[in-house]
Structure 1
Amino acid sequence: MTGKTLKKGSRCTICKSKNEKNKAVVFLPHHRLALCKKHYLEWFERRVAKTIKDFKMFNKNEKILVAVSGGKDSLVLWNVLNNLGYETEGMYIDLGIDEYSEDSKKLSVNFSNKINKKLNIVSIREEVASIPDIDKLTNKPACSACGTVKRYYMNKYAKNLGFQVIATGHNLDDETAVLFGNTLHWDLKYLKKQYPVLKEENGFIRKVKPLCKITEKETALYAFFTDIEYIEYECPFSEGASSIEYKEILSKIEEKHPGTKLQFYSNFVKSIYPILSEYDKKQSEEIKLCKKCGEPSFNEICSFCRLKELVNIGNTNN
């Protein structure tokens, strides 16, 4: 099939090869595939399974903690891993962002009940302060503070709960947007960490991204076909984020040249990352234990504890 859209009356590529007559409901231009609902879901799960295998992310004997946000990517990932037979639990970090957090938490809880899997919930407000309060009390950008908090608690709780792996729902659009931004700035510190698997070391749990070769649209279609209800609006703090602008730019290129995102990301992982990995061995930072909380850190005091200090200072000044 040629072109970039699904033509009326097109038959499913796989059904056609089996001499069946099911009509296609999805066309994937960069894969040149027209698929019916059944074969799309099978294709999606096989692709995730292949990504897990190709990057040796984890095996059936390991416990996987899925970072759940209430968005389509994390819920779809949890559903797929469940269908593939992996031992999973979810972890939802309540950031205290008013209606957004309430809605996303409710959807996460509903989904965990639907697939009969445990959802572990951590309240940032109870631990330190809500993201809106952190935003008011410190000079740290809300998105940066949010990332610090989430990384800290995901790693800490994964260890406490006995998990070997943390799986996040980062998709191809997410990865290419970050890669594009890091390449524009030639930020080697971040480029050398942009790989689908971050290995466990010195107190850091292994982190993996099984959806790294799946586009946002493909995830949305999977959610639609499997009746997964997810939060459909963005976090209020994400407005104006450069990553969203990068996604828009790359999507325009993808529309004209299907497969660009996958090629950009895959070629980086295959050709550039190994070079950066060798560089990393020579320039690697020493991992210490934070003097305040005992968690792994690249500094004497970890980013989370420094953030907590700023919150305390802000509360004192107020």
Structure 2
Amino acid sequence: MAKLKKGTRCTVCKSKGEKEKAVVFLPHHRLALCKKHFIQWFEKRVEKTIKEFRMFSKKDRILVAVSGGKDSLALWNALTRLGYEADGFYIDLGIDQYSDDSKKLALEFADRIGRTLHIVSLKEEIAPIPAIDKITDRPACSACGTVKRYYMNRYAKQLGYSIIATGHNLDDEAAVLFGNTLHWNIDYLKRQYPVLWEEGGFIRKVKPLCKITEKESALYAFFNNIEYIEYECPFSEGASSIEYKELLSSLEEKHPGTKLQFYTNFLKKMYPILKEYQERQKDQLKVCKICGEPSFTEICSVCKLKEKVQNISQKH
């Protein structure tokens, strides 16, 4: 976030003949804003993104994937203030103090805004992430992501929600896009869109913060006095996505708007080509013969993981 020159007035206030001083400058939007108008700008940008990608309407029941971090809580707050029917869904990953702290903050925030927070314990469903990490060859973040997506989809359907909203921000999306482009991972690139439409047992997943930067999200949380977990998950240390974020952030400092341009140009110019390819090469979704959830194989990856956990526990 660029530094403000002393005495800079809010762009919006200035246009109205008011003299409120700016507290934040958004270089890629060329906007200097006071606290009130930054909050309004943030919420209008979220609303505009929802409408641009036809994510959902006021009639839909939305389940926000809540982690206790700034992005998910900022999203939940914005959706509530914008008048959407949005409840929270927290997965207790069983990662010691990190999970205890994040769950506490999620519960406190749900109480503050008067919305329901549904909680699922991974320890009760399958096994906590530290235990899963010991029995799989996959990186912890990969296994964790698979498990979270599975339970979000399963419980959203059971609880009667039609939309899952996640707090992925522009930094997240740009970093993932950079990594997938670096490795030309077509299977992932063709699914990188702010909306994944419902099909074959999957319900719709949306990313309303995809054009909001991490710093903007943090500022919105700060200005709204939202307390969130400020340290990273211990399993994320050394993740390549963090390196990609740092690289893109250094480019952003020199050339404001780089991340937004990189991401939006992909959506406008490359995604339509990949979507056409995807329609021609569409994989046939099956139903897991154990749990009944959608899967590309006869037994889904989570049920395979459950079997592995059970086999190991029986041996001990």
Measured after TM superposition, the shift of residue 310 of structure 1 is 2.0
Q: Distance in 1 between matches of 2:78 and 2:44?
A: 10
Determine the structure 2 residue equivalent to 1:237.
Answer: 235
Q: Distance in 2 between matches of 1:262 and 1:314?
A: 46
Determine the structure 2 residue equivalent to 1:123.
Answer: 121
Q: Distance in 2 between matches of 1:316 and 1:145?
A: 22
23, 26, 44: which one aligns with 1:25: 23
Q: How does 1:70-109 map to 2 (within 5 A)?
A: 70-109=68-107
Measured after TM superposition, the shift of residue 4 of structure 1 is 4.3
Q: Distance in 1 between matches of 2:304 and 2:146?
A: 10
Helix, strand or coil at the partner of 1:60: coil
277, 294, 297: which one aligns with 2:295: 297
Measured after TM superposition, the shift of residue 116 of structure 1 is 0.4
Determine the structure 1 residue equivalent to 2:34.
Answer: 36
TM-score (norm 2): 0.98
* Unmatched 5+ stretches in structure 2: none
Q: Do 1:137 and 1:315's aligned partners in 2 also have CA atoms closer than 8 Å? A: no
Aligned AA for 2:251? I
Q: Distance in 1 between matches of 2:136 and 2:247?
A: 32
TM-score (norm 1): 0.98
Measured after TM superposition, the shift of residue 58 of structure 1 is 0.1
Measured after TM superposition, the shift of residue 317 of structure 1 is 4.0
Determine the structure 2 residue equivalent to 1:67.
Answer: 65
Q: Distance in 1 between matches of 2:140 and 2:33?
A: 41
Aligned AA for 2:301? S
Q: Distance in 2 between matches of 1:143 and 1:313?
A: 23
Q: Distance in 1 between matches of 2:74 and 2:119?
A: 19
Helix, strand or coil at the partner of 2:21: coil
302, 312, 315: which one aligns with 2:313: 315
Helix, strand or coil at the partner of 1:81: helix
Measured after TM superposition, the shift of residue 95 of structure 1 is 0.3
Q: Do 1:165 and 1:206's aligned partners in 2 also have CA atoms closer than 8 Å? A: yes
Measured after TM superposition, the shift of residue 64 of structure 1 is 0.2
Q: Do 1:138 and 1:314's aligned partners in 2 also have CA atoms closer than 8 Å? A: no
Q: Distance in 2 between matches of 1:184 and 1:174?
A: 15
Q: Distance in 2 between matches of 1:78 and 1:210?
A: 10
Per-residue Cα deviation, 1:23-75 (whole angstroms, up to 9, x for no partner)? 00000000000000010000000000000000000000010000000000000
Q: Distance in 2 between matches of 1:36 and 1:212?
A: 23
* Unmatched 5+ stretches in structure 1: none
Determine the structure 1 residue equivalent to 2:147.
Answer: 149
Measured after TM superposition, the shift of residue 142 of structure 1 is 1.3
Runs of 4+ off more than 4 Å: none
Determine the structure 2 residue equivalent to 1:216.
Answer: 214
Q: Do 1:173 and 1:261's aligned partners in 2 also have CA atoms closer than 8 Å? A: yes
Q: Do 1:68 and 1:92's aligned partners in 2 also have CA atoms closer than 8 Å? A: yes
Per-residue Cα deviation, 1:236-286 (whole angstroms, up to 9, x for no partner)? 000000000000000000000000000000000111000000000111110
- Aligned residues: percent identity? 72
Aligned AA for 1:250? L
Q: Distance in 2 between matches of 1:256 and 1:95?
A: 38
Q: Distance in 2 between matches of 1:141 and 1:239?
A: 11
Aligned AA for 2:220? Y
Q: Do 1:13 and 1:33's aligned partners in 2 also have CA atoms closer than 8 Å? A: yes
What is the aligned residue count?
Answer: 316
**1:54 lines up with 2:52 in the alignment:** yes
Measured after TM superposition, the shift of residue 316 of structure 1 is 3.4
Q: Distance in 1 between matches of 2:289 and 2:210?
A: 35
Q: Do 1:145 and 1:307's aligned partners in 2 also have CA atoms closer than 8 Å? A: no
164, 172, 193: which one aligns with 1:195: 193
Per-residue Cα deviation, 1:275-307 (whole angstroms, up to 9, x for no partner)? 000000111110110011110011111111111
